[in-house]
Structure formats: C-alpha cells, structure tokens
Amino acid sequence: MGSAMLDTVFCYHCQARHSRDEMRQVVSKTGKRWRCAKSIAAAKNDLAAREAFGRQVTAMNKSEAQAKIKHLLNPERATKGR
Ligand SMILES: [Zn+2]
C-alpha cells in the first residue's frame, strides 16, 4: 500500500488530487479551499495577459478616437468637389 494518498490534497480548481506541498490554501466566499500553486500561477498569468490586452484595446480606442477627431476638425475637401 502506498502512502501517497495521505500526502495529497484535493484541488478544487483541477478537480484532482495533488501532492500536499504543491497546494496552497485559499479563502473563498464559501470558505477555505485548497488549490495548487500551478493553477494560482496560471490564473495570475491569465490576469496579466488580460490586463495587457485591455491596455492594448484602450490604446487602440484612443488612436481611433483621435483619428475621428482629426477627421471632424479637417473635413475631407476631396468629396466636396470643385
Ligand atoms: Zn490543481
């Protein structure tokens, strides 16, 4: 009989058991839960990626807005004809 099961904790994130030294206890609305360090790190990376994406979109929206403003300040003369 292996004793490995004694050293594992159920990870609510992966729905699987990991060895205890990989696990971190986190406090959620429903109480204390065990989650593995890997999934916590992955979530952090995910958040950072989302934040970076958000910044990109904000920058894009800004330049788009600036282009629109320029357009309003400088109405195209070409379409006016003559
Ligand atoms: Zn896990």
In angstroms, what is the span from residue 54 Cα to ligand 1's centroid?
27
In angstroms, what is the span from residue 48 Cα to ligand 1's centroid?
20
In angstroms, what is the span from residue 1 Cα to ligand 1's centroid?
24
The dihedral through the CA atoms of 34, 26, 30, 50 has a sign that is negative
Task: Note the pLDDT of residue 5.
Answer: 57
For residue 80, name the pLDDT band (cuts at 50, 70, 90): low
Task: Note the pLDDT of residue 57.
Answer: 93
In angstroms, what is the span from residue 53 Cα to ligand 1's centroid?
26
In the DSSP assignment, the letter for residue 75 is: -
Length of the chain: 82
Digit-coded pLDDT (tens) for 11-69: 999 999 999 999 999 998 889 999 999 999 999 999 999 999 999 999 999 999 999 99
In angstroms, what is the span from residue 9 Cα to ligand 1's centroid?
9
